[in-house]
């Protein structure tokens, strides 16, 4: 590890490596800058990425609502809860588990149709689905198990009780995350940092009471959660 990443010594550097890391791209583009100046530039870039993700997230939410409005969602925001009652392809709201199963079934069918019929389903975003609540731990990769990135599917599974949705294009537009296909399975995608060194730093923030790493915050901002 380059010495410039270890300017902070002791407990802070040992347990919070994100505070002592400067990407090579920033270091090489700013010759002669002090470490504190480089950190300031890096923090400014991260703040910009978080702000950009908020704007991207509004587009993801709007597009998701328009694409799947016929399902009968209550509305769109950071979280969708249950389908509205009345005329709908969804089951009645009385049983939340049945409601989730109905949502998944319709989403899966729509995703399949979209992938097969590009002329009739020409949407701006290609959505990918992940099981779980979309909270900090769910959207932070596990050490070792998630070394390739967070795991997403092109269609939700009927066995899921809660899940979250983002879009490949939105992930890639963040500038700090990328969605890449699983070479072993065309129905899977991985979401991983653009900067490969950040994966270890990101993984180290998954557990504990610390604030989410900025990559988790960005991913949450471009995610629609289904409960």
> What pLDDT is attached to residue 202?
95
For 18-26, which contacts have Cβ atoms below 8 Å and span 24 or more sequence positions? Answer: 18/201, 18/204, 18/205, 18/213, 21/197, 21/198, 21/201, 23/195, 23/197, 23/198, 25/195
What does each C-alpha distance from 57 to 34, 135, 150 come to in angstroms? 35, 16, 18
What's the average model confidence in pLDDT over 185-209? 92
Q: Is the pLDDT of residue 92 over 90?
A: no
Residues 185, 186, 192, 193, CA torsion sign: positive
Q: Is the pLDDT of residue 61 over 60?
A: yes
Query: Domain spans of the chain?
Result: 34-226
Q: Is the pLDDT of residue 63 over 60?
A: yes
> What pLDDT is attached to residue 125?
86
> What pLDDT is attached to residue 97?
45
Burial class from Cβ neighbours inside 10 Å (0-12, 13-18, 19+) for residue 116 reads: exposed
Q: b/e for 121-153, b at 16 or more Cβ within 10 A?
A: eeeebebbbbbebbebebbbbeeeebebbbbbb
> What pLDDT is attached to residue 65?
80
Q: Is the pLDDT of residue 98 over 60?
A: no
- Read off φ and ψ for residue 168, nearest 5 degrees: -55, -45
Higher-scoring residue by pLDDT: 57, 114 = 57
Return mean pLDDT, the chain. 76
To the nearest 10°, the Cα dihedral for 203, 152, 102, 80? Answer: 50
pTM (2 d.p.): 0.74
pLDDT band with cut points at 50, 70 and 90 for residue 66 = confident
Query: pLDDT tens digits, residue range 118-135?
Result: 333 344 689 999 999 999
> What pLDDT is attached to residue 131?
94
Q: Are strands 79-80 and 224-226 parallel, antiparallel or unpaired?
A: parallel
> What pLDDT is attached to residue 211?
87
Higher-scoring residue by pLDDT: 101, 29 = 29
pLDDT band with cut points at 50, 70 and 90 for residue 114 = low
How far apart CA 28 and CA 73 sit, in angstroms, is 48
What does each C-alpha distance from 147 to 11, 112, 166, 190 come to in angstroms? 25, 28, 20, 10
| Nearest alpha-carbon partner for 111 in 53, 170, 152, 161 | 152
Per-residue tokens: 78: 């950071």
**How is residue 57 annotated by DSSP?**
H
What does each C-alpha distance from 109 to 104, 114, 205 come to in angstroms? 8, 9, 36
Q: Is the pLDDT of residue 177 over 70?
A: yes
């Amino acid at each position: 590890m380059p010495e410039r990443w270890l300017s902070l010594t002791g407990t802070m550097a040992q347990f919070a490596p994100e505070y002592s890391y400067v990407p090579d791209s920033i270091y090489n583009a700013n010759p002669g800058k002090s470490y504190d100046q480089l950190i300031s530039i890096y923090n400014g870039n991260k703040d910009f990425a978080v702000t950009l993700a908020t704007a991207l997230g509004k587009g993801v939410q709007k597009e998701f609502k328009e694409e799947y409005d016929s399902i009968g969602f209550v509305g769109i925001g950071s979280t969708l809860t249950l389908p509205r009652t009345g005329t709908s392809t969804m089951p009645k709201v009385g049983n939340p588990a049945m409601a989730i199963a109905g949502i998944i079934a319709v989403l899966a069918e729509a995703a399949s149709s979209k992938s097969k019929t590009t002329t009739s389903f020409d949407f701006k975003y290609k959505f990918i689905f992940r099981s779980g609540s979309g909270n900090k731990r769910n959207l932070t990769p596990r050490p070792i198990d998630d070394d390739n990135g967070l795991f997403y599917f092109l269609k939700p599974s009927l066995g899921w009780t809660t899940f979250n949705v983002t879009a490949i294009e939105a992930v890639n537009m963040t500038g700090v995350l990328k969605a890449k296909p699983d070479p072993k399975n065309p129905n899977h995608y991985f979401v991983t940092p653009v900067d490969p060194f950040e994966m270890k730093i990101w993984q180290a923030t998954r557990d504990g009471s610390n604030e989410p790493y900025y990559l988790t915050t960005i991913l949450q901002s471009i995610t629609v959660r289904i409960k």
